[in-house]
Amino acid sequence: GGTPLMVAGGAAGVVTVWDLEQRKLHSVLRDAHDSSVLSLHFFPGEPVLMSSGADNSIKHWIFDTTAGEATGAARLLRFRSGHSAPPSVVAHYGDGGLRLLSAGRDRAFRVFSVIQDQQSRELSQRPGGGAAKRARQLGITQEDLRLAPVVAVSA
């Protein structure tokens, strides 16, 4: 059930939504992101779209529905940011997809709670916390101690 939709993200931060059944433009989310849209993902069986952008943010959009049919443009449901470089990998994790795993070009691996922001945390190594001393001991830079950029996640 539900309206079969397809989305496309653009370099200007625009998300375009197409109604596949009626073969026409459904809606346009202008300024969905402050810069390029990097990824888009629908939640299976839900009127919810997740987007990530080069503005270092992850957003959840919800489509209002009547009898399972999308009735208008999506509206912002949740918003998370925190990476210092664009997130390159985003995946849902846990029962009901209530957690997001994200990795970025900043070599950070983060877990975001979609319900309570205080449960969100970074799992990768941050500069400091003994990293400077450890790097000196090994004769390498602090950056070399951090995770390599993450290219894929499976949860």
Domain boundaries, the chain: 1-81, 82-155
How do the pLDDT tens digits run along the chain, 155 residues long?
578 999 999 999 999 999 999 999 999 999 999 999 999 999 888 889 999 998 888 899 999 888 777 778 899 998 887 777 777 888 888 777 778 888 877 888 888 887 777 777 777 665 556 777 888 899 888 777 777 777 888 77
Question: 1-81 in CATH: which number?
Answer: 2.40.10
pLDDT at residue 129, as a whole number: 62
| Number of helices followed by number of strands (H, E) in the chain | 2, 13
Grouping H, G, I as helix, E, B as strand and the rest as coil, residue 81 is strand
pLDDT at residue 7, as a whole number: 96
